[in-house]
Structure 1
Amino acid sequence: MKRLLLFLLFFGLIVFWSSCRNDFEFSPSKGNLEFAKDTVYLDTIFTNIGSSTYNLKVYNRSNEDIVIPTIQLENGVNSFYRMNVDGTTGLEGNQEGKFFENVELLANDSLFIFIETTIDIETLTNSDTQFLYTDRILFDSGNNQQDVDLVTLVKDAVFIYPNRDENTGIIETLTFDVDGDGNLDETTLQGRFLEDDELTFTNEKPYVIYGYAGVGEGKILTMEPGTRVHFHADSGIIVTNGGTLNINGSISADHESPENEVILEGDRLEPLFSEVPGQWGTIWLFNGSINNTINYATIKNATIGILSEGNQDEPNDKLTITNSQVFNSSAFGILGRATSISGENLVINNSGQSSFAGTLGGKYNFTHSTIANYWNTSFRQFPALLLNDYVEDENGVTITNDLIEANFNNCIVYGNDNPEFFLDSRGSVFNFKFNNCLLRFDNANLANTGNYIFSDTNVYEGNIFNIDPDFENAFDNLMAIGENSGANGIGSMIFSALVPNDILGIVRSSFPDAGAYESIPLED
């Protein structure tokens, strides 16, 4: 009985409260809306590639519940923009996402408008390789009309992508000799081999690659100064047996605007994505590819910046990389497997695992290079520099291969962890040497044991340990060193004579600094 009385009393209060309040009465908007911004910039996109979703917040600062008679795009159904207003897509048919009627907005409340675009530059007038596309969102009409501008820069590009079977929807995959037995093998790598007329990349338009662009036997992919290459997710370049990659960038007059450098990165151009690791796959120098060279290039935001495999016994290095930078790799900056790599004026930083890993032996020679790792996105298991001479197969059997040589001359090996190099040997040949380097290694358990006997001049000579390199801003990949750097003046002229200018073209002094940069005064 008490429960019934309580229920009736509660029900009565609800009825009383409901009868005392007025139902929501919406009055027409009077043109007094406020907006979080007066222009929505959708940043830069490639033609026919959809943008990210951007938002606009609309406020009703009045004490009245209002209805906005119309929200629409000025260009109407012909607009390349599309909207979603608080979860609704507007009128059906060709006006969907373009036109909305009687949008209610409570007093002192707000709503969100979400905006996207996909634009075909060929449909725009007076367009060459880029075009500024604009439209407006119109709120209401007549004297009450208000507007917010929409602006997008659209770039034309050369698109390289695998074929798709129209009947099955299956995307083309690469077929090549994977195991070196002379027979072609089918792979699961989506992509296709480049045609002869596609083997020279220029600076006329950016290149956008879907899947893996393959370089076949006897073919050479050349990238000229100023080339820009953008990779979609899970995409990259693979250079197969007998193929060659030559990235031929050149020094720029202004290093802050590297117009002559070759830049390889993801295909999301919005600033939000400019430093996001792992947006694409890798540059894969497959076993059997030959004479690969990279000069004045920046490779950023990959899973593995460069993966080089095999050919350690060839007379020429598998890869020669000079005056280049590899940043923001979600796994490894450069990963070598039983291969041969030489580097000069090379900078590697911010890698989810190691910035440079020479694994399963091989040959590695680096002079005036900066191998650093200031990764702060997640926990990393490995140091900036990793060398080993083995791999374990699926049965747990250890397979070793000679580390023929690994020389680091006038280099910096540093980072935000400790120690920042690890030398893991299990075979009989493990040759390495650090000459006149700045090294981070402060581990009492490992020092003076195994491969870390720093007094042994056969493998360690002229090095400095654990003094701050004074990078400009390592977390932002600004790796120039200041006047207080531990690398200042520690280099040997024997090695600087081989690389007389630093990565910016500055002549090295008679007391050269270690690393890719000569020190300069850094601003506070």
Structure 2
Amino acid sequence: MIKKLCYFLFLICFLVFWSSCRKDFEFSPSTGSLEFSKDTVYLDTIFTNIGSSTYNLKVYNRSNEDILIPSLKLGLGESSNYRLSVDGLAGKEFQNIELLAKDSLFIFVETTIDINNFPNPDGNFLYTDKIEFDSNANLQTVELVTLVQDAVFIYPNRDNTTKVIETLTLNVDGEPIETELQGRELLPTELTFTNEKPYVIYGFAAVPNGETLTIEAGARIHFHSESGLIVTDNATLQVNGSFSNDQDVLENEVIFEGDRLEPNFSETPGQWGTIWFFDGSINNTINNATIKNATVGILCDGNPNEIGNKLTITNSQIYNSSSFGILGRNTSILGENLVINNTGQSSFAGTLGGKYNFTHSTIVNYWNNSFRQFPSVLLNNFILDEDNNATIANLTEANFSNCIIYGNDNPEILLDEIEDEAVEFNFKFTNCLIRFEDNNNNFTGPNYDLTDITKYEGNIFNEDPNFLDTELNKLIIGEESAAINQGLAAFAIQVPFDILNVSRTSSPDLGAYQHITFPEDEN
């Protein structure tokens, strides 16, 4: 026992003596020889008063000695609009930061900037600062740069006492109807969106009863999370975009997207809610628009027998909807030169009947973020309640002419009819390129009789559309496409120019685009 005790005391003394001799934890002052993962941290573009994403900077000690950084701070000190986190500690100035030999540390950077705190910002403002490491002869710096963009903000009122945010009250048939949606009706001074500044919408902005929201060419509309636009009873939306000569900038296109401007969010689905056309809204038109990264790009309800169409959408694109590109519910939609891709469910769903006409449109779905339940195009004539009871309605017409309906699943059309002599279920695919293979004979009945010319005429099945890049939503077709010169001239005359303003009347291709020759590195 005594022997063991002596051994234990000897071991303790040895460890104390050994640790006192170690130089591993002796830190030498920094000599200005730090290295960095980048010399400038660009925090991309943000809207005024909206916080940025978190960006990181990695700091390296390449030497063989443990070093001590005497000071690490923002150049503008406590007045800086940047925020730092160093080794898990938040602040704007830090002292005696330890960095082991051949090791590194992460610095995380964020910012929120009010453009109105700066003189004459003129819409955009470049805000800069720097991170300073050490001082005097050992001073090293990393620049911080953020472009701050001014905007018109539309948001509900907030009670600062109760912290309750205003919910939307709608005028329906002259009666105020309270909803659970955060938001408010647009004011008379807000019923024209121009291209002078982008618009940022918090909650749901509603076009009031009997009013028209006009959106001018080149306007940019950004929605915060779970926000959207509602066109109410007897109200109208007019989106007046026009053709853009620069297809990378889309200077005249009206663009609807989320309010996160960082590149990592540019193609992220489900960032905001929807553009919702209520049952009683009328005479809505969308021309030359891009609707991207919504939950449902367009939700259109009611008015299936309206003279003309409840919604006319032309020369427009809908991408990256986490649920549906267009969801129609017993409604009336006309689409020409329409492109839809990358949706979590169907790119187009015409449900509970209705009236739909699409000409020279590319309605495809190459969603790869998760399993999807439905095909690119879904038509049905019913809706189920909570008890699984069905309400049925007429599908008076659903015509797809000179279209491409395709995707990475099979089949890409579903005709889901509850048969009842009291209702109609009318549809026709004419001169379309369609993905539909039924090798296991799962789709039977008259709706899937591909030889019935009252439902299917002049179509091409399962041939390659030869899209440029489906993942990047580049749905123009190449010179090897099966869609080339397969369009029926009568429909091409109705829509004489493709979505890129190229004439198609002499030899119409299917879909929204006339074909091009791809560069070798893109084909």
Asked if Structure 1 and Structure 2 have the same fold, meaning a TM-score greater than 0.5 normalized by the shorter chain, the answer is yes
Letter in 1 for 2:274: T
Out of 235, 238, 247, the residue aligned to residue 239 of structure 2 is: 247
Identity %: 64
State the 1:18 CA deviation. Answer: 3.2
Match of 2:456 in 1: 460
Root-mean-square deviation over aligned CA pairs: 1.8
**Residues 199-250 of structure 1, C-alpha deviations (whole Å, 9 max, x = no match):** 0000000000000000011110010000000000000000110111111000
- Secondary structure (helix, strand or coil) at the match of 2:260 reads coil
Map 1:67-82 → 2, pairs under 5 A: 67-82=68-83
Structure 2: distance between partners of 1:23 and 1:482? 64
- The question of whether the paired residues in 2 share the 8 Å contact of 1:448 and 1:454 is answered with no
Structure 2: distance between partners of 1:341 and 1:403? 12
Letter in 2 for 1:250: S
Match of 2:56 in 1: 55
- Secondary structure (helix, strand or coil) at the match of 2:515 reads coil
Match of 1:508 in 2: 504
Match of 1:33 in 2: 34
Match of 2:67 in 1: 66
Shift of the 281–4 alpha-carbon distance from structure 1 to 2, 3 Å rule, reads farther
Out of 346, 355, 366, the residue aligned to residue 354 of structure 1 is: 346
Map 1:103-502 → 2, pairs under 5 A: 103-177=97-171, 183-428=175-420, 429-444=424-439, 445-446=441-442, 449-502=445-498
**Residues 76-102 of structure 1, C-alpha deviations (whole Å, 9 max, x = no match):** 12211111111112xxxxxxx221111
Structure 1: distance between partners of 2:329 and 2:505? 35
Aligned length: 515
Letter in 1 for 2:99: L
Structure 2: distance between partners of 1:459 and 1:4? 95
- Secondary structure (helix, strand or coil) at the match of 1:441 reads coil
- Secondary structure (helix, strand or coil) at the match of 2:32 reads coil
Structure 1: distance between partners of 2:446 and 2:129? 67
| TM-score normalised by L of structure 1 | 0.95
Shift of the 23–253 alpha-carbon distance from structure 1 to 2, 3 Å rule, reads closer
Letter in 1 for 2:356: Y
State the 1:475 CA deviation. Answer: 1.0
State the 1:281 CA deviation. Answer: 0.3
Match of 1:92 in 2: none
Structure 1: distance between partners of 2:448 and 2:189? 51
Structure 2: distance between partners of 1:375 and 1:75? 46
- Secondary structure (helix, strand or coil) at the match of 1:475 reads coil
State the 1:27 CA deviation. Answer: 1.3
**Residues 383-425 of structure 1, C-alpha deviations (whole Å, 9 max, x = no match):** 0100000111112111111101000000000001100010000
Structure 2: distance between partners of 1:23 and 1:324? 64
State the 1:104 CA deviation. Answer: 1.1
Structure 2: distance between partners of 1:306 and 1:3? 84
Shift of the 361–65 alpha-carbon distance from structure 1 to 2, 3 Å rule, reads same
Shift of the 243–7 alpha-carbon distance from structure 1 to 2, 3 Å rule, reads farther
Letter in 2 for 1:207: Y
Structure 1: distance between partners of 2:435 and 2:503? 26
State the 1:181 CA deviation. Answer: 6.4
Shift of the 186–18 alpha-carbon distance from structure 1 to 2, 3 Å rule, reads same
Structure 1: distance between partners of 2:39 and 2:114? 25
- Secondary structure (helix, strand or coil) at the match of 1:184 reads strand
Shift of the 471–182 alpha-carbon distance from structure 1 to 2, 3 Å rule, reads same
Structure 2: distance between partners of 1:242 and 1:7? 92
Structure 2: distance between partners of 1:7 and 1:314? 97
Shift of the 382–10 alpha-carbon distance from structure 1 to 2, 3 Å rule, reads farther
For structure 1, which runs of at least 5 residues remain unmatched after alignment?
90-96
